[in-house]
Amino acid sequence: MTPALLAEFIRAQAGASAARVDDLQLLAGGAIQENRGFTATIADGPLAGVHELVVRTEARSRVPESHTLAAQFALIRAAHQAGVPVAEPLWLGDGFFIARRLDGSTLGSRMVRDGAKPALAAALAQALARIHTIKPPRADLAFLKPRSLIAEYRAYLDREPEPHPALEWGLRALERTAPQSRETVLCHRDFRTGNYMAVGETLTGILDWEFAGWGEPHEDVGWFCAKCWRFGAVAREAGGIADRETFIRAYEAASGRAIDRAAVRWWERMAHVRWAIIALHQAARRTVEPSLELALIGRRLPELEYEVLRA
């Protein structure tokens, strides 16, 4: 989208006589969709002034789990209404949406570099508790359907041209030991270091809602604690930024919900299987969308298979 077309869309949505777009540039991150930051100047009307915004557009290919942009817009709007720190969603267009731009850093390796960040872990736990206040039924989230993750992932592996016995074994082990689901809430399903923005230990926003869906609270806690999302800081089991009990106790205090530690461990094992299957999806996208980043994600598969077998 050109700056001129984007400016015209914003002018119409804001009910203004004129709007200008400056400094439109691709932002780092986003392996599935693309994000471009820009400055919008709105001449008059209720939103008159200068605004720092982001436009999110579809990439040329998607992984099967990823929601459409319209669905992501609805999810972020529901989260914003629930008090979750997110980029305020403003306008949905044809194949894109516009939200306010957040301050902060997202890079996982940088986030874990300076040691433990217990205050940030507590803020993330509180944000996750807010996400989990969103529960079905919701007319605005009617596109979300119940899912059987093990059945879905087994079907995907059955369609793969190459065998992946470690993942098949992992799915069977998970199936045999699955904990009982007690509660259904909105799960972010990619709640991890690398998908939030922070300035120091101050959380500024939760990003990347394309996998969100109905699930149970332990799923998000397990994903956050999984070894694959610690960015090398493996001793700090909560996202590479804190010990797991700091994070879990803060979540329990914020949510009023008791966390079953054994269920969290089960969801950590599921996280490695699921991330391995997403890595397969991302590697397959290279046939449509040549990308070094997608190739490198595909190279994570042996490491993830090792974690599945080790667990």
pLDDT at 36: 95
Handedness of CA 104, 25, 206, 204 (dihedral sign): positive
Q: Is 175 a residue whose pLDDT tops 70?
A: yes
Q: Is the peptide bond before 217 cis (omega within 30 degrees of 0)?
A: no
Q: Which two tokens stand for residue 305?
A: 């298979």
pLDDT at 299: 77
- Which of 2-11, 36-45, 60-69, 170-179 bottoms out in mean pLDDT, i.e. has the lowest? 60-69
Higher per-residue pLDDT: 30 or 7: 7
Give the chain's domains with CATH numbers.
3-100 (3.30.200.20), 108-310 (3.90.1200.10)
pLDDT at 61: 58
pLDDT band at residue 281 using 50, 70 and 90 as cut-offs: confident
User: At a CB cut-off of 8 Å and minimum separation 6, what does 117 contact?
Assistant: 111, 201, 241, 242
Looking at every residue in the chain, the average pLDDT score rounds to: 93
Q: Is 30 a residue whose pLDDT tops 60?
A: no
pLDDT (average), residues 299-310: 91
What is the share, in percent, of the chain residues with pLDDT greater than 70? 94
Looking at the whole model, is its pTM more than 0.75? yes
pLDDT at 60: 65
Q: Is 31 a residue whose pLDDT tops 60?
A: no
pLDDT at 296: 72
Residue bearing tokens 């995907």: 156
- Which of 8-17, 159-168, 284-293 bottoms out in mean pLDDT, i.e. has the lowest? 284-293
pLDDT band at residue 9 using 50, 70 and 90 as cut-offs: very high
pLDDT at 32: 60
Element (H, E) at 99: strand 96-100
Q: Is 283 a residue whose pLDDT tops 90?
A: no
pLDDT at 97: 97
Closest to 114 measured CA to CA, from 207, 246, 240: 240
pLDDT at 297: 75
The answer to whether the beta carbons of residues 16 and 42 sit under 8 Å apart is yes
pLDDT at 300: 85
Q: Is 150 a residue whose pLDDT tops 90?
A: yes
pLDDT in tens, 41-67: 999 999 999 999 999 998 765 677 889
Closest to 241 measured CA to CA, from 231, 250, 251: 231
Q: Is 298 a residue whose pLDDT tops 80?
A: no
pLDDT in tens, 191-249: 999 999 999 999 999 999 999 999 999 999 999 999 999 999 999 999 999 999 999 99
pLDDT band at residue 29 using 50, 70 and 90 as cut-offs: low
